[in-house]
Amino acid sequence: MLEQNTIDDALDFDLFEGDFGAPGDTELSNKIVSSRGEYKCHVCGGQIVKGEFHRSTTWKFDGELMSYRCCNECCTAMVSSVNGDYEEGDPIEARYRLGHERRNKNRAAGVTVEG
């Protein structure tokens, strides 16, 4: 698991890849935190456990506050993505794919997963 000082580069990873961008949308906070509870990762859909260093970011979209958390493993992939020069095979892509797979599986099972 990456510690707080190594994981900082993950903050530079653009979480929304330009998907959003209405006027007035703003990033309110973006930081690496130690988890005080259990959360679900926005990228891979996996669990973030207590004490895990992960990225927590809050945005205002359409006047609504939205919080996103990204697990340590996805942050690790973000660090590689930010520091590497990937044309293809970007490690974060695999994490997003994992998230899609998990959501599809849950949808098939009739479970709704947020994030």
Q: Is 91 left (phi over 0), alpha (psi -120 to 50) or beta?
A: alpha
Q: Which residue, among 16, 29, 14, 31, has the nearest Cα to 60 in the 3D structure? A: 29
Check binding of 41 to Zn ion (CB under 5 A): yes
Binding letters toward Zn ion, positions 12-31, x by CB under 5 A: --------------------
Nearer to Zn ion, 59 or 68 (CB): 68
Binding letters toward Zn ion, positions 74-103, x by CB under 5 A: x-----------------------------
Torsion sign over Cα 92, 41, 16, 75: negative
For 27, 34, 58, 96, the CA distances from 53, given in Å and listed in that order, are: 20, 4, 16, 19
Stretch that binds Zn ion, among 10-18, 33-41, 51-59, 105-113 (CB under 5 A): 33-41
CB of 36 to Zn ion, least distance (A): 18
In the block, residue with structure tokens 């698991």: 1
Would you tell me which residues interact with Zn ion (CB under 5 A)? 41, 43-44, 46, 71, 74
